[in-house]
Structure 1
Amino acid sequence: MSSIDMSAPAPFVGLAPFLRMSINGEDLRPIAQEQLPRAEACPEDANLWMNLATLMLCLGHHELGLGIQAHALTRQRTFHLAAAHQPARLRALLLMAPGDLATNMPLDCLLEDCDIDLLMYYVSEEGDPLATALPEHNLVMVAMSESDENRPLLTALEPLLADWPKPVINRPQGVANTDRERASQLLQGVEGLLIPPTFPTSRTELQRVISGEKTLADICHDIDFPVIVRPLGSHGGHGLERVADTDELADYLTRLSGEDFFVSAFIDYSDGDGLFRKYRVVLVDGEPFASHMGISSHWMIHYLNAGMYEDAAKRAEEGAWMERFDAFALRHRHALNAIAERSGLDYLCIDCAETRDGELLVFEIGHAMAVHAMDSIELFPHKQVHMAKVKSALRSYLLRRAEGGAQAQKTGGVEV
């Protein structure tokens, strides 16, 4: 069974323990089967219900998980994840949005075994997003990701956080910059950085391309096949496909619903051996760190299905890249600095690759990507030291900002 103690009164456990079990191949279903009747018997136990919601979302029960989460949020809006090492050095207030596992940054997965209390506050979706009383805190971190659903919340938070008395990490206007279309616009014209422009279009316009009434270049500013097409608002690669010609475009539209899509040019970033390599880089206050490297024969790489767990040679290559990361960061210093500056975010993740011409090819930027040290030490011994660097850098940055904010309050100065 599980090492997670979900006995009454239920402590809030966050995502980290469930994610670790999932990565290690443990079956989460027996826990769910045990906890469902217990939750039904304890409808007022918000921590229990929120834990169960996270568990259901990990199991892929999307609608059920969101329903359970909604019930938990009718009971309370703040969920306290106590620091592993007490007394805590600071209390970080994370502004979260209701939603699935991709909706908010999984900070507890990175700051495990730490001395920072995490106060996960779920903002209100109607009226004042901070209407419910806020707990005492040393700094605020906007944890919700950019999405169609979260965009109104981010907009509403901007004026509320503009003169917040405590330091604010990842301000909402910076989070808004991670939208794919906006990011592609912000990062154009940077030497050594390539991010294909993303063009919004409609099913009707794409149908006109299929019929021959228009060309792809007519509706997407001179780009041509092959292209990447995805539905508006999709995340995690859902509906994202490479389309080579009008026949494939017609087939794509028959299989996917929705009326609005994004189109961008496909860049073949495969290396001489025919394999694709995608990197996840973390920026903490502009300083780059290695998170992971996925290697696959397919252009769309997800770490969990790239064969990294099954292939020792791939893991060895990832380890070598992480050991030589300083050279990678130096090679792309100008591009990484531009991303940090133009995004306006204190903490940011970048999914990227290197083109055959040596440019940094950016796929996506965002602060809600998974960064953790939960993989098996036996399979991934190289990850521990590098994840410790990310954790240490972020912890130090948060402490520095919190202490700077406290000092500014004492002196009446402005915290920067």
Structure 2
Amino acid sequence: MQSFELTDMALDTIASFASLGRVKLGEMPDLIAKMHEHPSDAARFYMGLFQLFTITGNNDFAQSMQARALALNTIYRVEGSSQPSIRLLAFMVAGTITDNTPLDYLIENSDIQLDVVYLVPGEPLPDLLPEHDVAIIAFGESDKDLSSLEMMKAIVDDWPRPILNRPQRVLFCARDKLYALIRDIPDLLIMPTLRVDRASLENITVANATISAVLGGGTYPITVRPLVSHGGKGLSKIENVMELQNYLANAPESEFFVSFFSEYRSVDGYYRKVRIALIDGVPYVCHLAIGEHWIVHYQTANMADSIEKREEEARFMREFDTDFARRHQVALSTLAERLGLDYVVIDCAETIAGELLIFEIDNRGWIHATDDINVFGYKQAVMNKAFAAFRAMLVKAMHAC
């Protein structure tokens, strides 16, 4: 068993994604020039380029810069409070911004110091790690990170500080495992989900049998998406075998999640998706996206262009605790108990019949307060409530040991 020493460390400081996200595109060259002022600090320079080019969408170059940074150093401190009251250590993995919990958005402008340790496949953790008050597993259950989860599973029970989002619980966020875990919760609806390889779907006979098994003898429509899929990328609703074949002809992946499609359109013709953060088992509303398409994302729902949508979201947020959360109190509390995760994000909706329809649950979910305050002024207090709950959870963990 590997042993670790915790000590106060002078760490390479990197910017937060939250602050970089507010930088205008025209200001990027000045930021890059500023990084060049300290070329000897190669690890921080490469990590800065990773962050900048992630923000601008050049993921391939960003990943190459991250690899260079991690070859030099795997421990970083995110810019923040100079006089922290809470020291949070996050275990992360190499990858895109969606591979890890975006913690810097949760702790922005707080008294929480965030240090990050990146796990590198095939390599042990450093023997010397930053002193901290609380640690958190901040990466997910994707196939590429399973070995890192297994490594953490072997050491968390003997960790010298409280540790949140234990790796064995993170595994339940996988779409097929999640269905098996929560499918029988009263007044909660989650569609049967199966992990299927390409060969099975390309064989029409096997595909029909597979789909029938998923749907319990049901029929189309279904949804198909690659195993690693975020923001609706690669997600499609399939109405028949021909559409399935066309989908596969344009999808390079070798494995997919297949699920039944549940119609959740409201009586006014709009689709509504709610994002909730479960923090220490308590639900906090983070947004209500209202759109015309069944794939509803906040960025594509044109919320900023519709005062009617924003007024509805503001009202929904004001009344969340006494309305939506109260109606689904039993389902949400049972869900939180079964998951056993300290921080996790739920994307869900409400069916016409009044059930809580679960789309996705992910410990890497993004909640933030970066929307334009002049347009979304009502969101600041709501998000600050969630951020305060996150801080309170850390304090509770600190005092529990």
TM-score normalised over the length of structure 1: 0.89
SS at the partner of 1:293? Answer: strand
Residue in 2 that maps onto 1:238: 233
Higher mean C-alpha displacement, 236-245 vs 214-223: 214-223
Quick one: which of 114, 122, 146 aligns to 1:118? 114
- 1-side partners of 2:338 and 2:253: how far apart? 31
1:375 aligns with 2:371: yes
**Equivalent pair of 2:76/2:117 in contact (CA under 8 Å):** yes
Residue in 2 that maps onto 1:72: 69
Quick one: which of 375, 388, 392 aligns to 1:396? 392
> Per-residue deviation at 1:233?
2.5
The AA in structure 1 aligned to 2:198 is R
> Per-residue deviation at 1:330?
0.8
Quick one: which of 42, 51, 54 aligns to 1:54? 51
Quick one: which of 69, 94, 99 aligns to 2:95? 99
> Per-residue deviation at 1:404?
2.5
Map Cα deviations across residues 301-351 of structure 1 (whole Å, 9 max, x no partner): 111111112111111111110011011111001111122111110111100
Quick one: which of 150, 153, 161 aligns to 2:148? 153
1:192 aligns with 2:187: yes
Residue in 1 that maps onto 2:306: 311
SS at the partner of 1:117? Answer: strand
After the TM superposition, which residues 3-402 of structure 1 pair with which residues of structure 2 at under 5 Å, given as runs? Answer: 11-21=13-23, 26-27=24-25, 30-32=27-29, 35=32, 39=36, 42=39, 44-84=41-81, 86-128=82-124, 130-209=125-204, 216-217=211-212, 221-326=216-321, 327-402=323-398
The AA in structure 1 aligned to 2:45 is L
> Per-residue deviation at 1:156?
1.3
Higher mean C-alpha displacement, 157-166 vs 354-363: 157-166
The AA in structure 1 aligned to 2:134 is L
SS at the partner of 1:253? Answer: helix
**Equivalent pair of 2:272/2:349 in contact (CA under 8 Å):** yes
**Equivalent pair of 2:50/2:62 in contact (CA under 8 Å):** yes
- 2-side partners of 1:288 and 1:114: how far apart? 21
- 2-side partners of 1:110 and 1:185: how far apart? 30
What are structure 1's unaligned runs of at least 5 residues? 1-8, 406-416
**Equivalent pair of 1:146/1:178 in contact (CA under 8 Å):** yes
**Equivalent pair of 1:205/1:219 in contact (CA under 8 Å):** no
What are structure 2's unaligned runs of at least 5 residues? 1-10
**Equivalent pair of 2:13/2:79 in contact (CA under 8 Å):** no
**Equivalent pair of 2:214/2:259 in contact (CA under 8 Å):** no
> Per-residue deviation at 1:232?
2.1
- 2-side partners of 1:47 and 1:38: how far apart? 8
- 2-side partners of 1:62 and 1:212: how far apart? 34
SS at the partner of 2:269? Answer: coil
Change (3 A) 1:234 1:200: same
The AA in structure 1 aligned to 2:371 is D
**Equivalent pair of 1:39/1:49 in contact (CA under 8 Å):** no
- 1-side partners of 2:259 and 2:270: how far apart? 21
**Equivalent pair of 1:210/1:249 in contact (CA under 8 Å):** no
**Equivalent pair of 1:92/1:137 in contact (CA under 8 Å):** yes
**Equivalent pair of 1:286/1:340 in contact (CA under 8 Å):** yes
- 2-side partners of 1:88 and 1:41: how far apart? 26
> Per-residue deviation at 1:96?
0.7
Residue in 1 that maps onto 2:8: none
- 1-side partners of 2:399 and 2:49: how far apart? 36
Calculate percent identity across the aligned residue pairs: 35
The AA in structure 2 aligned to 1:16 is A
**Equivalent pair of 1:102/1:145 in contact (CA under 8 Å):** no
RMSD between superposed Cα atoms in Å: 2.2
**Equivalent pair of 1:32/1:55 in contact (CA under 8 Å):** no
> Per-residue deviation at 1:244?
0.7
**Equivalent pair of 2:226/2:235 in contact (CA under 8 Å):** yes
Change (3 A) 1:12 1:186: same
> Per-residue deviation at 1:32?
4.7
Map Cα deviations across residues 15-68 of structure 1 (whole Å, 9 max, x no partner): 1112233xxxx32x6515761795598264322221210111111111110110
How many residue pairs match? The answer is: 390
Runs of 4+ in 1 over 6 A off after TM superposition: 210-213
Change (3 A) 1:52 1:61: same
> Per-residue deviation at 1:202?
2.3
TM-score normalised over the length of structure 2: 0.92
- 2-side partners of 1:134 and 1:319: how far apart? 43
- 1-side partners of 2:156 and 2:243: how far apart? 46
> Per-residue deviation at 1:235?
2.6
The AA in structure 1 aligned to 2:70 is L
- 1-side partners of 2:91 and 2:77: how far apart? 12
**Equivalent pair of 1:10/1:48 in contact (CA under 8 Å):** no
- 2-side partners of 1:379 and 1:391: how far apart? 21
Change (3 A) 1:305 1:219: closer
- 1-side partners of 2:168 and 2:29: how far apart? 38
> Per-residue deviation at 1:384?
0.7
